[in-house]
Amino acid sequence: MEIRIDTKSGVPFYRQIIEQVKFAIARGDLGSGDQLPTVRQLAVDLSVNPNTVIRAYRELEIAGILETQQGSGTFVGRHKPQVDDLERRRMLDQILTELLARAAGYGFTLDEMLEGLRQRKEVSS
């Protein structure tokens, strides 16, 4: 699983980490017992303050999604988060809003974007 931070989204970095971990578990990319990167390693990989990663991991642990074992690391717990349709829709809306804003900033029209998406889909299919 690869976590990415979008510095232009306006979403706090710790929230981005939480959402990506939750979605990865819900999709099955991460399973119970899988180890996550250490706080220090993820902070370095994402170029964020370690306190940002600590906050994300702590919130996921409070929710029962992650388990921290002192000296061993942070692992996916047995509780699989449910990502309901409303949350999925909210995430898609956020992605689309960001996409539209960035594309408009470069002067692309909606028709150009749709054509680009169609072409990308054809290539990946």
User: Domain residues of the chain, as ranges?
Assistant: 13-76, 85-124
H or E stretch covering 110 = helix 110-124
Q: Among positive and negative, which fits the CA dihedral 22, 25, 29, 35?
A: positive
Position 59 scores a pLDDT of 95
Cβ pair 25, 81 in contact under 8 A? yes
CB atoms within 10 A of CB 95: 12
* Secondary structure (3-state) at 92: helix
What are the tokens at 25?
């578990």
Predicted confidence pLDDT, tens digits, the chain (125 residues): 789 998 888 889 999 999 999 989 988 899 999 999 999 999 999 999 999 999 999 999 999 999 999 889 999 998 777 777 888 888 888 888 888 888 888 999 999 999 999 998 888 87
Question: The domain 13-76 is classified under which CATH number: 3.30.70.3000, 1.10.10.10, 1.10.287.1080, 2.40.30.20?
Answer: 1.10.10.10
